[in-house]
Amino acid sequence: MTAATVVRRTLAILAMGAIVVFAGAPFVWMLLASFQPLPNLLGAQMDVFAFGDATLDNYVRVVTDRGYVQWFANSALVCVVVVAANLVFDSLIAYPLARMRFAGQRVVLLLVIAAIMIPAQVILVPLYIQMRDLGWLDSYLALIAPYVVSPTGIFLLRQTFVTLPKELDEAAFIDGASRLRVLWSVLIPNSLAMYGTLAVLKFMWTWGEFAWPSLAVNSASLRTIPVGLAGMRSQFATEWDLLMAGSVLAILPVVILFAFLQRYFVAGLTSGAVKG
């Protein structure tokens, strides 16, 4: 190994170390802080490394005093329903777009693709008015309805279905299968990787959704985790102990999923880089 190679390798290792520190340090800092009593998190006394003072008290209090269990349950319910609805509705639209020829097909495909580009922020006001007129404001319906179908999801599934050989469908048709049957027992089982990607992506997005849920619900009992956390921040500006414990709990589900399903996250983050 020449001296130049050694230098280059050392530099690469240092650079990788710097990236790991940059990306990871905030997580470590948050985790350490979440176990510290409030006085250790304020101003000049700040000391997240005071392991002698470490306590689970922050977690106990954020769960018992601040309605965290309710927020967590709300977020989980919304996410599960949204992901399930997406897998169904997105598949149903993707199927004829990939496999059939029908009047209006181009228009539907165009509507789906163009929808990926519409920033959610643009429709906040009219969505609020619409939900108010429907009487859905301040209910689970307002938190769920706008997310039940995903243009990104439809598009990704359609692209996946198109790559599957048509002979698979035809063999099933000869056996007398209906179109729904073909979708269910031929196309879906052959696209499971994309379904995993889609479920993970949609879960991650819905779990983090903030602007709309904070407009859509007023009752404390309907808050999702991001809405609840943001509310704590403005109400009790310096309760860093509870905020850090709450933040750790908020990222736990996505981090656990990420640990087990990293492959799907990687696929999802690249193919679904435009949120929609």
Torsion sign over Cα 172, 174, 175, 181: positive
* The two structure tokens encoding residue 97: 């777009």
In this complex, which beta carbon is closest to another protein, that of residue 46 or of residue 54? 46
- Smallest CA-to-CA distance from 217 within 142, 132, 145 is with 142
Site string for another protein, 123-162 (x = CB under 8 A): xxxxxxxx-x------------xx-xx-x--x--------
In this complex, which beta carbon is closest to another protein, that of residue 52 or of residue 270? 270
* The two structure tokens encoding residue 14: 């240092």
SS3 assignment, position 276? coil
> Does 42 sit near another protein (CB under 8 A)?
yes
DSSP 53-89: G--SHHHHHHHHHS-HHHHHHHHHHHHHHHHHHHHHH
> Does 101 sit near another protein (CB under 8 A)?
yes
Q: Residue count at the site for another protein (CB under 8 A)?
A: 89
In this complex, which beta carbon is closest to another protein, that of residue 93 or of residue 156? 93
Least distance from another protein to the Cβ atom of residue 3, Å: 16
- The number of residues in the chain equals 276
The amino acid that residue 70 corresponds to is Q
Angle at 188 between CA 182 and CA 191, to 5 degrees: 135
In this complex, which beta carbon is closest to another protein, that of residue 25 or of residue 60? 25
> Does 33 sit near another protein (CB under 8 A)?
yes
- Segment interacting with another protein (CB under 8 A) among 50-58, 158-166, 191-199, 249-257: 249-257
Contact 118, 276 (CB under 8 A): yes
> Does 258 sit near another protein (CB under 8 A)?
yes
> Does 273 sit near another protein (CB under 8 A)?
yes
Torsions phi, psi of 236, nearest 5?
A: -125, 80
- Segment interacting with another protein (CB under 8 A) among 11-19, 56-64, 164-172, 184-192: 11-19
- Residue 140 CA to residue 150 CA, distance in Å, equals 18
In this complex, which beta carbon is closest to another protein, that of residue 104 or of residue 176? 104
Least distance from another protein to the Cβ atom of residue 19, Å: 6
